[in-house]
């Protein structure tokens, strides 16, 4: 009993509750005639789809810039890459790689500016990040209308210009990663091996980066800025690098998401995309000051698991669709918990 | 002498920085109004209506700013409380001014409870009140949907069939507030050269402005200012810091509930699941456009802000249409402006704070030498 209590304390109550809830959903699924294999398959797909976006939180949290509510900025870089790749009529792996190759420089550029901005507003990063994200999405709404893309599958038919709100990538590079070495167990359960491998590769890269000299310095900046300054680390530079990394990961993340989802969502599409990722990493046990790859993996699995399971299971149980409400309460409740928890530790 | 020079330069910087946002807006409006081809009397009428509609909501933001808690993004909590009041009186078919007053009476305890909760949570997140209250708004929105979508008609009885979804419980997406529509605006019908003036609403807003002026002078108002300036000093002076902060949020939330009721009586229809979401963003953007900052906001900021912000709101789609041939572009432009203005104001505030800190450090070092 004592051990159990210590374990729960170590893991944190919200994480335990959410894990138990998810477990209950999986157990209940067969009784309300929801196919378990389909559920597991869907969870895996969504895990792979969203993983890199959640990973994009890690560098900024580690360098002390807080939760990356400005993720939409990275997503916009990714969208630019994806749309340009379609404009060039590239298909298959070439298209996917080209999208990333075009998105990365945009991500670096945006991230550099965004990082410089955040260096000027230390202490107020999160609120400003939120609004930088929002206003850049709104700005890009105008740009999507004006940018000179001409591919007829992407622009409005009657005007011949202005990108559509959703663009299908099925003909180009939809599913190239998911179907790569994809394993089909049954009609309902197939594992998107390529996508999971790619997510693994990204995690490995981030893990390796945090074991280099720069990576260690970055963690030092986040843990104790005064100590870092005393040991001769350029704090602003480390923070800028971390923001650039987060932005680039966001750009890559959205392209992975799109190739699995099959559509590019422009205009207000990226608007609220930061919140699920923030919630996911917090459910995984991260705090505003510390995030690890384990947090990313566990958090993405738990959060996406709940998102997959609640609509099907709860709907069959209660005959009403409460999944949206549950999603709002769980994700925002989690963010709220993290924000208030840190302050309590600080005031001690 | 040298010191004075630096002081003077410092102040000029400050003037430009504090007034940057209104100046940009005045410039934008001066360009956009002629392009939009709206007539002067139309714009005046439109601004009067929008002033009556929005001023109260914006005013509800002032008190937490005095208490140093920044922009109260949690005012949407109050807006939700107000909407629950409106749903109930629409169901009970109580119309006109009594209906509005009853809605306000129902909303008051709900808003007080929510405000108290918000205040307690914000006390646990000192230094990051804004982002916390912002997320809290989303969180309570989830609970609100839970209650309105599933509770109403099941737990809380709803009699009118035109309010309830066809499945038997849950409130419909749009509610017609015909019963109380414009009842406060048209209470005292006045019109000047064909322009209708919603005098009743302006009277309420005027009374409320007097309340704020009076409130600032009370003991509680002074306490709040002290807490806003320095929590530790205030605590040392014997002011119950936590309690004062909670009270400021409770007042703000209750006032936001009234503000939302006034707002919706002017509009006449309520989007059950969306009306409140926009309330916070627009009120905050308007206040900032008026030249307020996260730490300082005055009554003139409120009125200037509402007029400038909504001028942009009315004018930009038409300006976009005539300028580039696409109204949609103007539409996106105004969304961009609303968010951009909040971002710029927040950046300016934090940046100024960081610079002040650097100044303080430098002067300390100068004193030692």
Position A187 in a domain: yes
Subunit contact B347:A344, Cβ cutoff 8 A: no
pLDDT digits (tens, 9 = 90+) for A25-39: 888 888 877 777 888
* B-contacting residues in A 268-297 (Cβ below 8 Å): 275
CA dist., res. B9 & res. B1, Å (int): 13
The domain segmentation of chain B, as residue ranges, is 2-368
Give the predicted TM-score (pTM) of the model: 0.84
pLDDT of A111 reads: 93
Position A129 in a domain: yes
Q: Is A348 on the interface with B (CB under 8 A)?
A: no
* Contact (CB, 8 A) for A86 and A291: no
Please name the member of A131, A333, A344 whose beta carbon is closest to the beta carbon of B346. Answer: A131
pLDDT average, residue stretch A80-90: 88
Confidence of residue A155 (pLDDT cuts 50, 70, 90): confident
Please name the member of A120, A124, A335 whose beta carbon is closest to the beta carbon of B135. Answer: A335
**Number of domains comprising chain A:** 1
Subunit contact A328:B329, Cβ cutoff 8 A: no
Please name the member of A69, A134, A138 whose beta carbon is closest to the beta carbon of B332. Answer: A138
pLDDT average, residue stretch B316-326: 77
Q: How many other CB atoms sit within 10 Å of the CB of residue A94?
A: 14
Subunit contact B339:A328, Cβ cutoff 8 A: no
Task: Assess whether pLDDT exceeds 90 at residue A347.
Answer: no
Q: How many other CB atoms sit within 10 Å of the CB of residue B107?
A: 29
pLDDT average, residue stretch B141-146: 89
pLDDT digits (tens, 9 = 90+) for B25-58: 888 888 888 888 888 888 888 888 888 889 999 9
Position A1 in a domain: no
What mean pLDDT, rounded, does chain B reach? 84
Predicted-complex ipTM score:
0.80
pLDDT digits (tens, 9 = 90+) for A61-71: 988 888 888 89
Task: Assess whether pLDDT exceeds 70 at residue B10.
Answer: no
Distance from CA of B313 to the nearest CA of A (A): 15
Q: Is the dihedral of CA B154, B155, B158, B159 positive or negative?
A: positive
Q: Which of B139, B166, B348, B354 to mutate to test the interface with A (most CBs of A within 10 A)?
A: B139
CATH for B2-368 is 1.10.3470
Task: Assess whether pLDDT exceeds 50 at residue A88.
Answer: yes
- Determine the structural domain holding residue A210 and report its residue range: 10-343
Confidence of residue A343 (pLDDT cuts 50, 70, 90): very low
| Encoded tokens for B74 | 């949690």
Degrees, nearest 5: CA angle B149-B152-B154: 110
pLDDT of A77 reads: 93
pLDDT digits (tens, 9 = 90+) for B281-307: 888 888 888 888 888 888 888 999 999
Distance from CA of A237 to the nearest CA of B (A): 18
* Chain B residues touching chain A at CB-CB below 8 Å: 121, 124-128, 130-132, 134-136, 138-139, 141-143, 145-146, 149-150, 167, 326, 328-329, 332-333, 335-336, 338-340, 342-343, 346-347, 349-351, 353-354
Subunit contact A124:B349, Cβ cutoff 8 A: yes
CA dist., res. B369 & res. B365, Å (int): 7
Distance from CA of B282 to the nearest CA of A (A): 14
pLDDT of A79 reads: 92
CA dist., res. A29 & res. A245, Å (int): 39
Q: Is A317 on the interface with B (CB under 8 A)?
A: no
> What is the domain-level CATH number for residue A140?
1.10.3470
Degrees, nearest 5: CA angle A321-A323-A324: 100
State the alpha helices, DSSP H only, in chain B: 2-36, 40-59, 62-66, 75-92, 96-123, 129-146, 199-217, 219-229, 231-236, 241-267, 275-289, 299-324, 327-368
Lowest mean pLDDT among A26-40, A129-143, B12-26: B12-26
CA dist., res. A84 & res. A105, Å (int): 13
């Amino acid at each position: 009993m004592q051990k159990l209590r210590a374990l729960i304390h170590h893991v944190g109550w919200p994480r335990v509750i959410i894990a138990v809830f998810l477990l209950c959903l999986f157990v209940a699924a067969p009784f309300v005639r929801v196919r378990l294999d389909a559920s597991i398959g869907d969870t895996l797909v969504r895990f792979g789809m969203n993983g890199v976006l959640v990973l994009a939180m890690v560098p900024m949290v580690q360098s002390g810039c807080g939760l990356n509510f400005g993720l939409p900025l990275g997503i916009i870089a990714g969208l630019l890459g994806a749309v340009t790749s379609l404009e060039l009529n590239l298909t298959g792996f070439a298209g996917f790689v080209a999208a990333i190759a075009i998105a990365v420089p945009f991500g670096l550029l945006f991230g550099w500016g965004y990082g410089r901005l955040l260096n000027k507003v230390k202490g107020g990063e999160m609120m400003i990040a939120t609004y930088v994200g929002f206003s850049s999405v709104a700005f890009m709404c105008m740009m999507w209308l004006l940018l000179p893309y001409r591919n007829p599958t992407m622009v409005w038919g009657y005007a011949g210009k202005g990108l559509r709100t959703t663009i299908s990538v099925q003909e180009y590079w939809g599913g190239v990663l998911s179907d790569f070495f994809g394993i089909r167990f049954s009609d309902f359960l197939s594992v998107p091996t390529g996508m999971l491998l790619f997510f693994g590769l990204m995690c490995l890269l981030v893990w390796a980066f945090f074991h280099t000299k720069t990576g260690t310095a970055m963690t030092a900046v986040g843990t104790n800025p005064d100590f870092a300054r005393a040991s001769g680390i350029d704090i602003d530079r480390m923070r800028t690098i971390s923001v650039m990394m987060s932005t680039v990961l966001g750009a890559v993340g959205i392209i992975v998401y799109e190739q699995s989802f099959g559509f590019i969502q422009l205009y207000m599409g990226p608007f609220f995309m930061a919140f699920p990722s923030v919630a996911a990493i917090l459910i995984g046990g991260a705090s505003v000051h510390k995030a690890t790859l384990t947090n990313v993996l566990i958090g993405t699995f738990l959060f996406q698991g709940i998102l997959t399971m609640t609509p099907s299971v709860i709907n069959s149980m209660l005959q009403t669709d409460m999944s949206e409400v549950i999603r709002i309460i769980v994700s925002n409740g989690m963010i709220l918990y993290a924000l208030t928890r840190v302050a309590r530790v600080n005031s001690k | 002498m040298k010191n004075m020079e630096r002081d003077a330069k410092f102040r000029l910087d400050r003037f430009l920085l504090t007034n940057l946002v209104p100046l940009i807006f005045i410039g934008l409006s001066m360009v956009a109004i002629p392009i939009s081809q709206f007539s002067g009397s139309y714009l005046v009428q439109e601004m009067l209506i929008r002033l009556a509609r929005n001023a109260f909501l914006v005013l509800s933001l002032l008190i937490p700013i005095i208490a140093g808690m920044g922009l109260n993004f949690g005012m949407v909590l109050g807006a939700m409380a107000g909407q629950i009041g409106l749903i109930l009186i629409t169901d009970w078919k109580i119309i006109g001014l009594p209906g509005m007053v009853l809605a306000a009476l129902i909303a008051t305890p709900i808003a007080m409870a929510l405000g108290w909760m918000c205040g307690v949570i914000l006390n646990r997140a000192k230094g990051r009140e804004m982002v916390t209250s912002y997320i809290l708004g989303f969180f309570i929105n989830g609970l609100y949907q839970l209650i309105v979508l599933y509770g109403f008609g099941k737990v809380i009885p709803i009699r009118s069939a035109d309010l309830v979804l066809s499945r038997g419980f849950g409130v419909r997406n749009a509610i017609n507030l015909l019963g109380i529509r414009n009842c406060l605006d048209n209470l005292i019908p006045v019109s000047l050269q064909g322009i209708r003036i919603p005098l009743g609403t302006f009277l309420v807003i005027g009374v409320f402005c007097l309340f704020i002026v009076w409130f600032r002078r009370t003991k509680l108002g002074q306490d709040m200012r002290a807490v806003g300036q320095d929590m530790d000093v205030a605590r040392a002076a014997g002011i119950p810091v936590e309690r004062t902060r909670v009270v400021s949020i409770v007042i703000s939330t209750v006032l936001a509930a009234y503000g939302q009721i006034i707002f919706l009586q002017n509009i006449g229809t309520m989007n059950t699941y969306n009306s409140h979401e926009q309330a916070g963003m627009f009120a905050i953007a308007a206040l900032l456009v008026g030249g307020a900052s996260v730490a300082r906001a005055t009554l003139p900021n409120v009125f200037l802000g509402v007029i400038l912000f909504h001028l942009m709101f009315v004018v930009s789609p038409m300006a976009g249409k005539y300028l580039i041939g696409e109204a949609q572009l103007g539409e996106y432009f105004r969304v961009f402006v609303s968010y951009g203005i909040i971002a710029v104001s927040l950046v300016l505030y934090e940046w100024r704070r960081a610079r002040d800190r650097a100044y303080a450090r430098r002067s300390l070092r100068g004193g030692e030498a």
